[in-house]
Chains A and B, each alone.
Chain A
Amino acid sequence: MNEDVLIKVQSNPKFKELVRKKTSLGWQLSLVMLAIYYGFILVLAFNPHSLGTPIAQGSVITIGIPIGIFIIVSAFLLTGIYVRKANSEFDALNQQIVEEARK
């Protein structure tokens, strides 16, 4: 990449917008995932038996089971949110930045 293109991109307000939006969404969703997972790990570490509470009186299913399934499903949903946002909004913005840098 030559200096010229670099400076053009860096001074483009759309680039700053892209960086801000993309980075903040990336970190926010990462934090959500980390919070969900390490929340679970901490329960596992300090109070594992609480996960053995039955979901209903007389049921053998413990709350640990739906929580586990929820964590798996949440991972998929979070990636879906990111891809949706990135495909629609970020890519369009990026396209403009790349085209403007070529001028």
Chain B
Amino acid sequence: MKSRIASLYAGLLTALPTLALAGEAMTGEVEKQPLNISAIVMFFIFVAATLFITYWAARKTKSASDFYTAGGGITGFQNGLAIAGDYMSAASFLGISAMVYEKGYDGLIYSMGFLVGWPIILFLVAERLRNLGKFTFADVASYRLSQTPVRMFAATGTLVVVAIYLIAQMVGAGKLIQLLFGMSYGSAVVLVGILMVMYVLFGGMLATTWVQIIKAIMLLSGASFIAFMVLGKAGFSLNHMFEMAVDTHNKGMAIMEPGGLVANPIDAVSLGLALMFGTAGLPHILMRFFTVSDAREARKSVFYATGFIGYFYILTFIIGFGAIFLLTNQPGMMETVMKNGKEVTQLVGGNNMAAIHLSEVVGGNLFLGFISAVAFATILAVVAGLTLSGASAVSHDIYASVIKKGKANEADEMRVSKITTLALGVIAMLLGIVFEKQNIAFMVGLAFSIAASANFPVLFLSMFWRGLTTRGAVLGGAIGLVTAVVLIILGPAVWVDVLKNETALFPYKNPAIFSMTLAFFFTWLFSVTDSSRQAQEEKAKFDAQFVRAMTGIGAAGASKH
């Protein structure tokens, strides 16, 4: 094992300069953005540091518990930073600052929705989750229900959410590295795929967590600096900053109030539901609660995470407005491209690059390098967390619990998770290439809708409602999942934008209000009408589950080392 890691490590070190050369050779294609040495240097420093951490973590990662949850030895503060890291994805950083740049106030609406799910998670979910689960949220959902169907359902929900979230991250990564290195989109996506597989395969949750923590600190410091400089350029007057933005933006005063993002009441409420409850259904986030030693640390981690994330969103708001008045119509910043047969003027490399360009304006080339490296680190860290979560759904839920009926030996389970990690890496690269042209912030919205409609209702009811039965959980959850996916396909985002039809069959961008309601309703209906003996037993087990959820008696503890 050790020698395999060592040789792979050495192999990657020799591969790195080659990649840099490849980047140089391809600058012809993106002459607007010449090769940036400082960016590349910082990027490689980050990669080297994370690979070193992976190497360190690999030596400590021996058991399945180490692999899935870092042995439960992460502190609340560290986990808070890591959760914030998982949550402050490239889609948040680049996507939301781009949304603020394009639409002003609307970007803030997204930020708020992303944040307000956290208190709910703390008040209702976090401690119970930690007390009941071990490696995945399916542990909790299937606690007193029939293992096979519930785990199959939870694993499906996990994999669908992970796949969509991965697409969003991969697209962001491809565009970013394209801009930074002049590498082709495809090779950028492949590079990300390889690195994320390395982290997860060898370093497991320990490496993933530390990559996440480092990236969170870098991102928060970098974004703080940009926001500070933006305020400085506005003479530290918010009023002046907004004035200059309003004067520059072609929408004028309209950027200071809600606009076209949320077209109607149904969409507004639906988006709100998806963002708020989707957070509590994201498998890679839920998994983070098993990395701490007990419910108390789980609770603290949410508190820290909420603080960091909230602060970060306030920064993206300032960054977006800064981009409006500092970048728009500045020489070298804009380009005109053809989109759907129309001429569109946008920032070089697309509006998703607003934060990146802004870093150059406020901090020069060196800082551009730093922020580029940070944005890239962000993507790497998030995809690693997603991959780990997807791999555990396959190895822990499907392989160990369903196929082997809980009797898998640990070595086999680990092997399955590693094979899955590789497979997910390949799939992520392919999907990243297929979905090149989608808006990345919106893709994350889709993942949230599905998480809110499939995973959250089942997880929530399993902890709070004695009457939940296997039949109700599986059918209700499946209906939520299918409804969310179908409505998204028939809605404007896929039916019109991807499949190029004239009008959408389903008029709303956000299906959550329908799919989540249906999921809750059918879970209830199929549970109360379930009079089987098995259902009776499942209800009877609620008392013991409840006592463990509240007190932590019998909860999986941290492993010794």
Contact = CB atoms under 8 A, between A and B. Distances in A.
Interface of A: 1, 5-6, 9-10, 15, 18-19, 22, 25-27, 29-30, 33-34, 36-38, 40-42, 44-46, 48-49, 51-52, 59-62, 64-65, 68-69, 71-73, 75-76, 78-80, 82-83, 86-87, 91, 94, 97-98, 101
Contact of A1 (B112, B127, B544): B544
Contact of B116 (A9, A71, A86): A71
Interface stretch (B145-153, B155-163, B294-302): B294-302
Contacts of B123: 25-27, 29-30, 33, 78, 82
B551 A98 contact: yes
Nearest to A86: B299
A62 B257 contact: yes
Given A29-B123, A52-B257, A45 B268 contact: yes
Given A6-B543, A41-B272, A97-B551, A83 B105 contact: no
A contact face: mostly helix, strand, loop, or mixed: helix
B9 interface: no
Contacts of A86: 127, 296, 299
Given A52-B253, A82-B122, A40 B299 contact: no
B550 A18 contact: yes
Given A38-B269, A65-B105, A94-B551, 12 more contacts: A6-B547, A34-B120, A37-B112, A41-B272, A52-B258, A60-B253, A64-B256, A75-B306, A76-B307, A78-B119, A79-B306, A87-B300
Nearest to B244: A60
Interface stretch (B67-75, B91-99, B235-243, B356-364): B235-243
B272 A37 contact: yes
B257 A61 contact: no
A59 B262 CA distance: 25
A76 B548 contact: no
Nearest to B550: A19
5 contacts: A37-B116, A37-B276, A51-B257, A65-B242, A87-B300
A3 to B, nearest CB: 9
Nearest to B267: A45
B246 interface: yes
Contact of A15 (B239, B306, B313, B551): B551
Interface in B454-512: none
B222 interface: no
Given A26-B123, A60-B239, A75-B116, A41 B268 contact: yes
B186 interface: no
B260 to A, nearest CB: 10
Contacts of B231: none
A48 B260 CA distance: 10
A44 B268 contact: yes
A65 to B, nearest CB: 7
A51 B258 contact: yes
A73 to B, nearest CB: 7
Contacts of B300: 83, 87
A42 B237 CA distance: 31
A10 B548 CA distance: 11
A6 B239 contact: no
A29 B119 contact: yes
A49 B124 contact: no
A65 B116 CA distance: 16
Given A76-B310, A83-B300, A60 B246 contact: yes
B265 A45 contact: yes
A61 B269 contact: no
A34 B116 CA distance: 8
B112 A40 contact: yes
Contacts of B266: 45
B119 A79 contact: yes
A49 to B, nearest CB: 6
A72 B115 contact: yes
Q: Which of A1, A29, A80 has the most CB of B within 10 A?
A: A1
Interface in B18-65: none
Contacts of A45: 262, 264-266, 268-269
Contacts of A69: 314
B109 interface: yes
Given A94-B552, A101-B553, A44 B119 contact: no
B372 interface: no
A3 B553 CA distance: 13
A76 B303 CA distance: 7
Contacts of A72: 111-112, 115, 310, 313-314
Nearest to B262: A44
B289 to A, nearest CB: 15
Contacts of B296: 86-87, 91
Contact of A30 (B119, B257, B551): B119
Nearest to B252: A60
A48 B310 contact: no
Contacts of A41: 268-269, 272
A5 B543 CA distance: 12
A57 B369 CA distance: 42
B82 to A, nearest CB: 17
B543 to A, nearest CB: 7
Q: Considering the complex of A and B, which 7 residue pairs feature the smallest CB-CB distances, nearest first?
A: A52-B257, A45-B265, A45-B268, A48-B258, A26-B123, A41-B272, A62-B256
A64 B243 contact: no
Interface in B276-314: 276, 296, 299-300, 302-303, 306-307, 310, 313-314
B17 interface: no
B322 to A, nearest CB: 15
A94 B120 CA distance: 22
Contacts of B116: 33, 36-37, 71, 75
B223 to A, nearest CB: 15
